[in-house]
Amino acid sequence: MKKHHWLAGKKIAPAPVTPGITARELIDNAFLAYNGGRLREACRLFSEKMLAEDVTIGLSISGALTPAGLGCSCLIPLLEYGFVDWIVSTGANLYHDTHFALGMDLHQGSPFVDDVKLREDEIIRIYDVLFHYSVLLDTDKFYRELIMTPPFQKTMGTAEFHYLAGKFLDARQQALAGGSASQSPSSLLIAAYRAGVPVYTSSPGDSSVGMNVAAVALQGSQCKYDPNIDVNETAAIVFDATRGGKSAILILGGGSPKNFVLQTEPHIQEILGLPDSGHTYFIQMTDARPDTGGLSGATPAEAVSWGKVDPTHLPDAVVCYADSTVALPLLTAYALDAHAPRPLRRLYERREELMAALRGSATTR
């Protein structure tokens, strides 16, 4: 019987899993179908195409990933290897990330507990992560004191806000380590500061960090967020990436951060009227469905209709319907094994240059 072209794919005949197998070997050999297959595709797309020298990689983070330790275990290594060039995160992830920078304790627990009793004992629960109420109060105190310092007394974008916070936290960590700058960063904010990775928050008022900014404004603080800066800076990063190279997006979860990294292309094309084709590469880890109208589940094909994703590269778009707390460690382990570190782009330090290029193109169209 003549072999049909539909059957040109590799035959499913995996070898048994053995002791000592690496994460990369496991994914390549045992993740062959369904969302396991999509995770394998995502790992290969990330390692073989997105990590090329001419690709600028944006990361969006939603869901409570940092309190589960994924900032320390997975996100920091990606930054240090040069595998992430810019970030859009919920404010909550950065707020809880600060607990680690300040040396506070979060503990593994159980979701099957009496929350009324937890409230009486001043214990906070994020599903099965438990910590004392004082962790929130002490982190709030840190931010209020930090925001009242002179460097914060102005209007700024969230990337500058987080850079200044990371700078202070890094200095604090070094002081506690006896002045050693070689100690591994204890938080994502510190790692981003050291790597020159700009970190944006698409809804800065929607977190405890934003609430503390609002609180000190009642006391006369001049610290203010300007969302226009964030919209234009992120578009400038993508515009620069696609002039002589490619833009890639890695999306963990969905929500506002997902839309913010993707809306860079409609801002460039629709609003500013500049020619572009959309992001080249797209990976999303999500547990949401597209048919319920939730932004978290919007597919790459749908994003093509908005100009967010380049239609000629739609095969280079993978949606893996899996919990980020499961998929991200596997993706990180695979990438670190499969690809050498990339030179850091240090986009934070290039913001003015990138903005000048975008501004010049927008005014001469």
Which helix (H) or strand (E) segment holds residue 56: the answer is strand 55-61
Euclidean distance between CA atoms 309 and 299, whole angstroms:
10
Q: Which two tokens stand for residue 351?
A: 């913001």
User: Rounded to an integer, what distance in angstroms lies between the CA atom of residue 83 and that of residue 96?
Assistant: 23
Q: Which two tokens stand for residue 254?
A: 């969905």
Told to judge if 258 belongs to the known catalytic residues of this protein, a careful annotator would answer no
Instruction: Record the tokens describing residue 347, joined without a space.
Output: 């986009």
Characterize the bridge pairing of strands 317-321 and 281-286.
parallel
104 vs 97: CA distance, rounded Å: 10
Q: What is the DSSP letter of 292?
A: G
Q: What is the DSSP string of 209-230?
A: HHHHHHHHHTTT---EE-HHHH
266/268 Cα distance (integer angstroms):
5
- The Cα 356–Cα 365 span in angstroms is 14
Round to whole Å and give the CA distance between 327 and 151: 38
Decide: 99 and 88 in contact? Cβ < 8 Å.
no
Catalytic residue among 2, 49, 224, 308: 308
Give the DSSP per-residue string, 151-195.
GGSSEE-HHHHHHHHHHHHHHHHHHHTTS-S-SPPSSHHHHHHHH
CB-based contact 260:61 (threshold 8 Å):
no
**What are the φ/ψ torsions at residue 260 (nearest 5 degrees)?**
-65, -40
Tell me the C-alpha distance between 92 and 47, whole Å. 29
Non-local (6+) Cβ contacts of 112 within 8 A are none
Which of 205, 204, 261 shows the shortest CA–CA distance to 233? 261
Catalytic residues: 308
